Structure 1
Amino acid sequence: MKYLTIIFILISQNLTAQVLHLKPLKADAITGSAFAKSIADSSLTLEQREKIIFNEIKNGNVPNFLRKLTKVTHSNEWDLGDDKISVSYYVLPDYFCIGSDEDFFYVPMTPLLAQKIAYLTKCSLLTRKMVDKVYKNATIKLEPKPIPPTKAMTTVPVFIAHNEIIKTQLKDFDAQHKNSELTAGHKKDIIISNKIYGEQTPRVVIYGWHKLDGKPIQPMYNKHTNTWADYSHGVRLVQQNVWINGKKTKIAKVLKNEKLSILLSDEGRIEKPFYPATKY
């Protein structure tokens, strides 16, 4: 019986390591479209809006399709003295949403909020290299649909308009999407990078929005401060655990290592693989 208990614990730990650590979605939770309208009030400051978003996520108002993480594995790309090196990690199958499987709202946010949610869910943001790997492994690849840039691109009405564009695209993949299949191409990623720091004001670093030919529209870019959030930004998280040749370690530990960082980063060591946000 003792050994069976140990085995059960190990299996349970493995299963829970592959889901998003959040409270269950309540049956009476506000829908994504209703939530979007509730934060469209122009009198709300960015800080107030992001506090509302955080509390909604903390209370578990996140679609079920987003909770089952997707395994991404790549190997045979590096020369670290081994014949074969395999790297595996678990990512969100889509960008962060609020609402249900039937009615959800992609919620753009600053990297400060994104990092706070990463802390809450025991996750990390991705590097540029990891974003490329996610796109390569995605089974649902959506064509980017940019909205012409204006001053309104940071406002909720534009967030809502882009959300509807993406949901229209997803109609052709409804069953696969609800089944947590890896989806990419419809947002730029907020990424971790050495370019977060080094300026007078910490920056948000964005990358991605891959076209159907696999080429990203957005090269790595850090010209916005870390209080910027526009309709094109998405937040995809990755579980903190990473497996190298089957041995578990932490993403932050790998990224800080001079030798191993190449496994997850194409810009060398990342000494601070996080944004300067307070924990929840």
Structure 2
Amino acid sequence: MKNITCLLASILLAIVVQAQELKLKPRKADALGGTAFAHSISDSTLSLVAREEIIFREIKNGNVPSFLRKFQKIVSKATIDNKDYELVFFVLPDYLAIGHNDDYFYMPMTPILAQKVANLLHCSLPTRKITDLIDQNATLKLTPQPIPPSKAMTTVPVFITHNDLVKQQMQPYLSQHANGALTVGNKKDIVISNKIYGETTPRVVIYGWHQLDGKPIQPLYNKHTNTWADYSHGVRLVQNTMWLNGKKTTLAKILADPLLSQLLSDEGIIEKSYYPVFDNY
């Protein structure tokens, strides 16, 4: 009986794996392509809040490429107190973008907006450990292309410049990418961490931008406030629902558990596995 139960659980999980898609509206035929959208928000007189309201509306309306709509499976394993654990979870194959497969724009955003988008789509942002696991499992690895720091790095024209650099780099891999290959090296991650809180003002915590040898350019960093967004920021969504040894659970429950948290975190427990969300910030 136990063997039959385990077999049924395995079959059910296999079915679930095939069905993990981003819960978004279909993209409208007349929706803006990535290039047109980027230029539509590049007016220097547009406030950050207004810009992010436009971005949120565009994502909510389904203007997201098809290559980003199907999640990729990641598995984290560990032996804890002499018991084996296997955690199955799902992540976007690339960083969140606006547009369609042939014309998309990677969308840097503040963690405030990133969390709003994650909430909308029943997702979370990754931890540092999840980011490392994604890099280890990626099939399409790009060499990072940092732009020298400047006051302009938070402006849309620089976002566009970096987007163009990455898309040029992607040219040899267009078919692989369009089919949802797990992709890394093009951005650093906005991550959830215990370092979000504890300061006078909540922080954005960034990490990653792994090089081809697996070493991250960006260590875990929280020196910017949560209204900071520069060209290097990528939003990688992680589905909230996960499967621990075949049983359904959530990212928040795993991260709040003193033992199980090590499956997803190298910081120990992360009780607040989210960024604070504000209107009119």
- Tell me by how many angstroms 1:192 deviates: 0.2
Name 1:255's counterpart in structure 2: 255
Match of 1:51 among 45, 53, 75: 53
Aligned-pair identity (%)? 63
Name 2:276's counterpart in structure 1: 276
Name 2:175's counterpart in structure 1: 175
Distance 2:32 2:142 in 1: 27
Moved more, 241-250 or 136-145: 241-250
The 8 Å contact of residues 257 and 269 in structure 1, kept in 2 or not, is answered as yes
Name 2:96's counterpart in structure 1: 96
- Tell me by how many angstroms 1:49 deviates: 0.2
Which segments of 5 or more consecutive residues in structure 2 lack a partner in the other structure? 1-11
Name 1:7's counterpart in structure 2: none
Distance 2:16 2:112 in 1: 29
The 8 Å contact of residues 203 and 222 in structure 2, kept in 1 or not, is answered as yes
The 8 Å contact of residues 80 and 259 in structure 2, kept in 1 or not, is answered as no
The 8 Å contact of residues 33 and 105 in structure 1, kept in 2 or not, is answered as yes
The 8 Å contact of residues 31 and 104 in structure 1, kept in 2 or not, is answered as yes
Which segments of 5 or more consecutive residues in structure 1 lack a partner in the other structure? 1-9
Match of 1:28 among 27, 30, 39: 30
Equivalent residue letter for 1:202 = P
Equivalent residue letter for 2:34 = G
Name 2:6's counterpart in structure 1: none
Equivalent residue letter for 1:45 = S
Distance 1:134 1:57 in 2: 23
TM-score if structure 1 supplies the norm length? 0.93
Greater than 6 Å deviation, 4+ residue runs: none
Name 1:197's counterpart in structure 2: 197
Secondary structure of the residue that 1:41 maps to in structure 2?
coil
Sort the Cα spacing of 1:249 and 1:166 in 2 relative to 1 into closer, same or farther, 3 A.
same
Name 1:81's counterpart in structure 2: 82
Name 1:6's counterpart in structure 2: none
Name 2:143's counterpart in structure 1: 143
Distance 1:78 1:208 in 2: 26
The reply to whether residue 14 of structure 1 matches residue 51 of structure 2 is no
Distance 1:42 1:206 in 2: 25
TM-score if structure 2 supplies the norm length? 0.92
Equivalent residue letter for 2:38 = A
The 8 Å contact of residues 177 and 183 in structure 1, kept in 2 or not, is answered as yes
